[in-house]
């Protein structure tokens, strides 16, 4: 338990008999009954290089007692183990990312590993529109090392109000434009391009790399539902985590679910859940089918979907899947009420894709 350091995100408040550790990142509080007046001084002495023996000697403490306190504070993400030094480049250029990652990790070597993981991972982004173009930019900013862009569209003037493109990009391929823009943000990011729309034969007709770590579907033609089915069918077969991109829909932003094959509810499990709701709600109702309505959409709301997809992508890529916010959930943001509506969706034994594995 040597080389411990108090995390930067921790605030400490002392009262007569308690010490309150406040985690400013998660707004959680850890209240410990303790009346050692020197506890703050003592914890601040944990700067990453002091040993438990040194502290015991300095404060005349029993080593066993102190060790059990430190083990607890380490487990509770109050203290981090400084078992590796950050490279200077990392401190100079990515200190905020490092500080954020410290809240996910128990040691500085784990933080360095997470950053290396990001640089080695490969993510396929399908559809580079209002959600996909911003997801691509955010993943490049996070330091994701390998991206595959799938799209065939050219930039149109009507894209500029909600997608990551500029006036002088009009008429050029979205994939090429975005590749060029990303080289200015993260020159280390390798980008492969597949010039294609997502159709039923897409995965059969193209050489799909076998080392993809994550697929994010942001294609919405003819509908998010249709494209997500194609992506999910392939990703379940190949056992690749995938995120069903969301979008703006009648003043609701649908936050697409994140799927870890055979561990969380899959696309088909969601369909079973939604069918039960729709069958009940739409009994005796005849649906009026209307083609290509071009429903309202604008960047603040597609931004919510892209930001949340990027956040879950980050957690998948650093392999902290226990922290994912949109697995087993159908989430909608309602711009009228400013509320997120969350419906819990569990894996279904009836699911023809993953039902056999449900315990």
Does the protein bind Zn ion through residue 244 (CB under 5 A)?
A: no
Does the protein bind Zn ion through residue 115 (CB under 5 A)?
A: no
Single out the residue of 46, 165, 273, 353 in contact with Zn ion (rule: CB under 5 A). Answer: 353
Does the protein bind Zn ion through residue 324 (CB under 5 A)?
A: no
Helices (H) and strands (E) in the chain, counts: 11, 15
Does the protein bind Zn ion through residue 273 (CB under 5 A)?
A: no
Q: Are 215 and 231 in contact (CB under 8 A)?
A: yes
Does the protein bind Zn ion through residue 235 (CB under 5 A)?
A: no
Single out the residue of 269, 301, 317, 318 in contact with Zn ion (rule: CB under 5 A). Answer: 269
Q: Are 277 and 224 in contact (CB under 8 A)?
A: no
| C-alpha radius of gyration, the chain, whole number | 24
**255: three-class secondary structure by DSSP:** strand
Total residues contacting Zn ion by CB under 5 A comes to 6
How many angstroms from the chain centroid is the CA of residue 191? 20
Residue 351 backbone phi and psi in degrees, to 5: -65, 125
Peptide bond into 222 cis (omega under 30): yes
Nearer to Zn ion, 224 or 354 (CB): 354
Which residues sit opposite 28 in a β-bridge? 23
* Closest separation in Å from C-beta 326 to Zn ion: 16
- Helix residue ranges, H only, 199-345: 202-205, 224-237, 267-281, 299-317
Does the protein bind Zn ion through residue 266 (CB under 5 A)?
A: yes
- Strands 122-126 and 214-217 turn out to be parallel
* Closest separation in Å from C-beta 39 to Zn ion: 50
Nearest residue to Zn ion on Cβ basis? 351
- Strands 252-255 and 329-334 turn out to be antiparallel
Single out the residue of 151, 213, 268, 312 in contact with Zn ion (rule: CB under 5 A). Answer: 268
Q: Kindly indicate which of the ranges 177-185, 192-200, 244-252, 261-269 contains the residues binding Zn ion, using the contact rule CB under 5 A.
A: 261-269
Nearer to Zn ion, 269 or 313 (CB): 269
- The C-alpha angle with vertex 119 and arms to 114 and 121, in degrees rounded to 5, equals 90
Does the protein bind Zn ion through residue 148 (CB under 5 A)?
A: no
Q: Kindly indicate which of the ranges 105-113, 176-184, 331-339, 348-356 contains the residues binding Zn ion, using the contact rule CB under 5 A.
A: 348-356
Q: Kindly indicate which of the ranges 22-30, 66-74, 114-122, 343-351 contains the residues binding Zn ion, using the contact rule CB under 5 A.
A: 343-351
Judged by the rule CB under 5 A, the positions of this chain that interact with Zn ion are 266, 268-269, 351, 353-354
């Amino acid at each position: 338990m040597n080389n411990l350091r108090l995390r930067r995100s921790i605030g400490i408040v002392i009262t007569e008999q308690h010490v309150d550790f406040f985690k400013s990142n998660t707004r959680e509080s850890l209240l410990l009954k303790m009346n050692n007046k020197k506890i703050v001084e003592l914890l601040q002495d944990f700067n990453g290089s002091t040993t438990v023996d040194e502290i015991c000697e300095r404060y005349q403490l029993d080593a066993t007692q102190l060790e059990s306190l430190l083990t607890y504070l380490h487990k509770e993400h109050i203290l981090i183990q400084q078992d590796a030094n950050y490279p200077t480049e990392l401190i100079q250029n990515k200190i905020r990312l490092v500080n954020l990652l410290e809240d996910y990790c128990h040691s500085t070597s784990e933080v360095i590993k997470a950053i290396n993981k990001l640089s080695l991972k490969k993510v396929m982004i399908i559809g580079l529109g209002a959600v996909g173009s911003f997801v691509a930019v955010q993943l490049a900013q996070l330091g994701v090392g390998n991206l595959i862009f799938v799209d065939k569209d050219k930039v149109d003037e009507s894209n500029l109000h909600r997608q990551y493109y500029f006036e002088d990009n009009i008429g050029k391929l979205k994939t090429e434009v975005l590749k060029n823009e990303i080289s200015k943000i993260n020159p280390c990011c390798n980008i492969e391009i597949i010039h294609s729309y997502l159709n039923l034969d897409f995965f059969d007709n193209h050489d799909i790399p076998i080392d993809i770590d994550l697929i994010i579907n942001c294609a919405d033609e003819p509908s998010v539902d249709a494209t997500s089915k194609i992506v999910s069918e392939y990703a379940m077969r190949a056992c690749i985590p995938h995120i069903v991109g969301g979008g703006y829909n009648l003043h609701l932003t649908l936050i697409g679910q994140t799927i870890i094959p055979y561990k969380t509810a899959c696309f088909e499990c969601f369909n079973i859940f939604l069918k039960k709701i729709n069958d009940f709600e739409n009994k005796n109702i005849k649906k009026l089918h209307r083609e290509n309505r071009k429903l309202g959409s604008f960047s603040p709301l597609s931004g919510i979907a892209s930001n949340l997809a990027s956040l879950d992508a980050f957690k998948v890529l650093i392999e902290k899947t226990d922290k994912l916010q949109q697995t087993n959930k159908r989430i909608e943001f309602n711009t009228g009420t400013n509320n997120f509506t969350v419906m819990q969706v569990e894996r279904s034994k009836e699911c023809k894709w993953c039902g056999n594995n449900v315990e």
